[in-house]
Amino acid sequence: MAVSVDLAKQLDKAYEDLTVGEVLDAPVAALAGVSDGDAEKLAGRVRGHDGA
């Protein structure tokens, strides 16, 4: 099933014109409202997750 979606409002301006594949490869900070610092904190939480 084909789906069409406009991601422009969910991405920072620099990432708005990327293909879906490029967006999937983009850093978390490409999401609108997520700073580089937020992305680092998230990465630390994911790396530190022990599955418990």
The string of pLDDT tens digits covering residues 8-43 is 889 999 999 998 899 999 999 999 999 999 999 988
Burial code of 10-41, b = ≥16 C-beta within 10 A, e = fewer? ebeeebeeeeeeeeeeeeebbbeebeeeeeee
User: Is residue 3 included in any domain, yes or no?
Assistant: no
Instruction: For residue 29, give the nearest of 13, 5, 47 by alpha carbon.
Output: 13
User: Is residue 19 included in any domain, yes or no?
Assistant: yes
User: Is residue 34 included in any domain, yes or no?
Assistant: yes
Q: Which residues pair with 11 in a beta bridge?
A: 31
Q: Which domain holds residue 16?
A: 8-47
Number of domains in the chain: 1
pLDDT value of residue 30: 94
Which residues 6+ apart lie within 8 Å of 18 measured at CB? Answer: 11, 26
Mean pLDDT across the stretch 45-52?
64
User: Is residue 2 included in any domain, yes or no?
Assistant: no
User: Is residue 52 included in any domain, yes or no?
Assistant: no
